[in-house]
Amino acid sequence: MRMTSLRGEALFEVEEYRVRRVSEQDIPLLRNLGERCREHIELHYGSPPDPEHLIRELLTDLPPGKVLADKFGMGLFDRSGRLVGGIDIIRDYPEPREWYLGLFVLDPKSRNHGLGAKLLVALEHWLRGEGAAYLRLAASEHNEAGRRFWTRHGFETVRQVIAEFGNKQSLFHVMRRALEG
């Protein structure tokens, strides 16, 4: 079932959680999630964590040649309305029908209980409904747990790149997977 993407309305659901687009009205919630996920931010940026980065990434960061209409900054909300995760997806990047996953983060208390895997399955189902054929992402060499997660879910490294974020230069594994079904 395809759901609308207006603020407040679910794009899709995962058990008792719902995923919807986030907006500037959600900045306090995003800031709080960024504080709770400080280790994720520091892992990638190498400097004292800046929770504002999570806000920028979900609301405004875009690769060259893309516009805000191609961006889906999403939040994963529990029944009480608490933001427990963030997802950033770019439509048709770098190629048509290939979507780029720029961020997939869960509150530390929500990790290691299978929620990430269930969220990925629901996200992929939604992406197929939006016309996506492939999902691409980049996993940092420093994020071993993340790379294991993506590999376990069928993503394969297609190339490696060196990129600088914040004050940290890192090797990234660009990973890709076909969306079947």
pLDDT digits (tens, 9 = 90+) for 8-19: 689 999 999 999
CATH superfamily of 12-136: Gcn5-related N-acetyltransferase (GNAT) (3.40.630.30)
For the chain, give the percent of residues with pLDDT over 70: 85
pLDDT band at 56 (very low <50, low <70, confident <90, very high): confident
Q: What are the residue boundaries of the structural domains of the chain, listed by start?
A: 12-136
- Residue 110 phi, psi (nearest 5): -100, 0
Q: Which residues contact 73 (CB under 8 A, 6 or more apart)?
A: 21, 22, 57, 58, 59, 86, 87, 88
pLDDT digits (tens, 9 = 90+) for 126-160: 999 999 999 999 998 888 989 999 999 999 999 99
* Closest to 119 (Cα-Cα) out of 71, 155, 148, 77: 77
Distances (CA, A) of 169 to 42, 43, 135: 12, 11, 24
* pLDDT value of residue 42: 72
For the chain, give the percent of residues with pLDDT over 90: 60
Q: What is the mean pLDDT of residues 106-121?
A: 92
Q: What is the mean pLDDT of residues 49-56?
A: 64
